[in-house]
Chains A and B, each alone.
Chain A
């Protein structure tokens, strides 16, 4: 007759068996019930935390040196454990399929567990009755019976405490802060939005995080910025590295204790270009200037939805090397040649029958395991050459191996290549960033915090007043902060003279 939903736990569904126990569960219901379980949710969180912790043992793929193959790097660097780490995908944790599945399952668990609890709770709280069963009243932690009480006074007092009061057959129900009960669900909505944002990073066009190296004076395409309207290019006009002047009075005090120089500014002066819409990759681009810009740390160049951040630099990379052909006996020189280290010519004609040919070029010279001259990579950090030198005196040519501080002759040569200067260039490294997911993640975070605040800083207080034969019954409940509720009740007792509500002894179970 009385559908008090909270009388006893067995009475929660009016004594009827739970729905899931009465009807034949389908496969879908089994899955649903699995994810509905809080225990499953907690286990998912634990698994994710443990995986994330393991992911910090060795560096993530992003932080290993570029140009090494991760497949071999982890094993050679960290042994068998490293290999297992790599094979299980811990090296790229946030991108590994099983980690995404775990996160996805957590998302599913959040949605289903919230739906399964939130909706019934909402319905139950919405259809609360004013008049409650005696048993329900007695069961509450705070309870009292007064001989008599002025109902209007109680109502007025509670309303002055900003309770919402309903009246039915001379009984009262006062509630305050019901919305705090939604805190957990708002919090979950925030988390789901947050996960959605993280998920969208993997969708094309949503997220770009690339690195771009450009030499001074060169133009390079900006990775991730190609669209139907064309491809963006960036010219590095100048890279600037400024140091603090130690002699400057202003900085002297602070800098005198520091060894070496202290950087003041890292800056790239750049020009942004865009190609025509029908640009083919690799073709000499027809560039249209978009804008000039100065990029400093934390002051990116922004265009469209992209931003270029100053990230790294390399000073004084060799760009050109000059040599002179010299007769060893006389010291006489027969012309100078300048080798572009990024595009050396095969032959250099010095006229009058003198010429030099490049037989071999090693941009980053090393002697390999077989003791053969070789190169580490394609960057001219330690250039070395095998030259053939021709002169009217030596028409067959003489060979010499020439590198930095090295000059090895094939036999007894009459001529040599003498070093005549080097040109260098600076490089700048910029991070290309585009992130359409940031606002979604921020929104999720804000909603999450609202939910936390809602659930933690407010509480749902309820007071029932019921007129019975033996007097006026009062009962009160709150989901947290009993102290606050008691203060409200003290005020009520003080104003209306009802019997103070006493805390029941907790039942020894």
Chain B
């Protein structure tokens, strides 16, 4: 009888704790307004970059991908761009690629910006905001870290310091 009660109580409490825990787990990702969670496979997308080249995410399997969403009008985005460029030059050889998805701007504006900061990584142009929407991007900049298996291993909406970028690069280096 005593034993039965113990097991009944333990089981009920365990179920409730799991239910609440799972709700909180989901709410944390709901909060950032996204369908893409850490541990998910990053959804594939196809965009044309600033130079007219086709960029498909799946082609980068085997490499780490530093997926950044940005706009020329966004000051924090502008701040992290030179850092990204510098680290890109270092980590490209080590198998990390930067994809800086521009959120719905024109080639004229982005070209000037890219020239000013001498950006050499691909800038996919998300003119219709399709990728931005699918990735549930709220405020920019947002950076999503994808490992060599295409799995999302990190996501942040803060303006990144160079140190932070280096630590991210190390994280997704194949």
Q: Residues of A with Cβ closer than 8 Å to B?
A: 23, 26, 28-29, 31-32, 67-71, 92, 95-97, 100-101, 104, 107-108, 111-112, 199, 202-204, 220-221, 223-224, 226, 280-283, 342-344, 346, 358-364, 374-378
Chain A residue at minimum C-beta to C-beta distance from B102 = A378
Chain A residue at minimum C-beta to C-beta distance from B75 = A368
Report the minimum CB–CB distance from A44 to chain B (whole Å).
Answer: 13
A47 to B31, CA, bound (A): 22
Report the count of interface residues on B (CB-CB < 8 A): 49
Cβ of B30 within 8 Å of any chain A Cβ, yes or no, is yes
Contact residues in A for B56 (Cβ distance below 8 Å):
280
A221 to B111, CA, bound (A): 27
Cβ-defined contact, A104 with B127, below 8 A: no
Contact of B13 among A32, A68, A69, A360 (CB under 8 A): A32
Digit string of B1-44 for contact with A (CB within 8 Å is 1, else 0)?
Answer: 01000100110110010011011101110110001000000011
Report the minimum CB–CB distance from B38 to chain A (whole Å).
Answer: 14
Cβ of B109 within 8 Å of any chain A Cβ, yes or no, is yes
Report the minimum CB–CB distance from A126 to chain B (whole Å).
Answer: 20
Q: 12 A–B contact pairs at CB < 8 A?
A: A28-B9, A202-B26, A203-B23, A223-B136, A280-B44, A282-B134, A343-B106, A346-B107, A358-B108, A360-B109, A364-B73, A378-B103
Contact residues in A for B109 (Cβ distance below 8 Å):
360-363, 375
Contact of B73 among A26, A100, A344, A378 (CB under 8 A): A378
Cβ-defined contact, B10 with A28, below 8 A: yes
Cβ of B130 within 8 Å of any chain A Cβ, yes or no, is yes
Report the minimum CB–CB distance from A223 to chain B (whole Å).
Answer: 5
A226 to B135, CA, bound (A): 12
Report the minimum CB–CB distance from A31 to chain B (whole Å).
Answer: 6
Cβ-defined contact, A101 with B20, below 8 A: yes
Cβ-defined contact, A28 with B13, below 8 A: yes
Contact residues in B for A108 (Cβ distance below 8 Å):
13, 16, 20
Cβ-defined contact, B27 with A221, below 8 A: no
A208 to B22, CA, bound (A): 18
Q: Residues of B with Cβ closer than 8 Å to A?
A: 2, 6, 9-10, 12-13, 16, 19-20, 22-24, 26-28, 30-31, 35, 43-47, 56, 71-73, 103-109, 111-112, 124, 126-131, 133-134, 136, 139, 157-158
Given the known A-B contacts A111-B16, A281-B43, A282-B45, are A376 and B73 also in contact in the complex, defined by CB atoms under 8 Å?
Answer: yes
Given contact pairs A104-B16, A199-B23, a sample of 5 additional A-B residue pairs in the complex whose CB atoms are under 8 Å apart: A281-B134, A343-B106, A344-B107, A346-B107, A374-B73
Most chain B beta-carbon neighbours within 10 Å: one of A28, A70, A199: A28
Contact residues in B for A280 (Cβ distance below 8 Å):
44-46, 56
Cβ-defined contact, A199 with B108, below 8 A: no
Given the known A-B contacts A32-B9, A100-B24, A101-B24, are A363 and B106 also in contact in the complex, defined by CB atoms under 8 Å?
Answer: yes
Chain A residue at minimum C-beta to C-beta distance from B73 = A375
Cβ-defined contact, B20 with A100, below 8 A: yes
A96 to B32, CA, bound (A): 11
Cβ-defined contact, B108 with A361, below 8 A: yes
Contact of B24 among A23, A97, A359, A364 (CB under 8 A): A97
Report the minimum CB–CB distance from B48 to chain A (whole Å).
Answer: 9
Cβ-defined contact, A111 with B12, below 8 A: yes
Chain B residue at minimum C-beta to C-beta distance from A69 = B139
Given the known A-B contacts A281-B44, A374-B73, A378-B73, are A95 and B106 also in contact in the complex, defined by CB atoms under 8 Å?
Answer: no
Most chain B beta-carbon neighbours within 10 Å: one of A92, A96, A199, A362: A199
Chain A residue at minimum C-beta to C-beta distance from B47 = A282
Of all A-B residue pairs in the complex, the 3 with the closest CB atoms, nearest first, are: A104-B20, A202-B26, A281-B45
Contact residues in B for A68 (Cβ distance below 8 Å):
139
Given the known A-B contacts A282-B130, A343-B127, are A203 and B9 also in contact in the complex, defined by CB atoms under 8 Å?
Answer: no
Contact residues in A for B105 (Cβ distance below 8 Å):
363, 378
Report the minimum CB–CB distance from A436 to chain B (whole Å).
Answer: 14
Cβ-defined contact, A28 with B6, below 8 A: yes
A327 to B97, CA, bound (A): 49
Cβ-defined contact, A377 with B73, below 8 A: yes
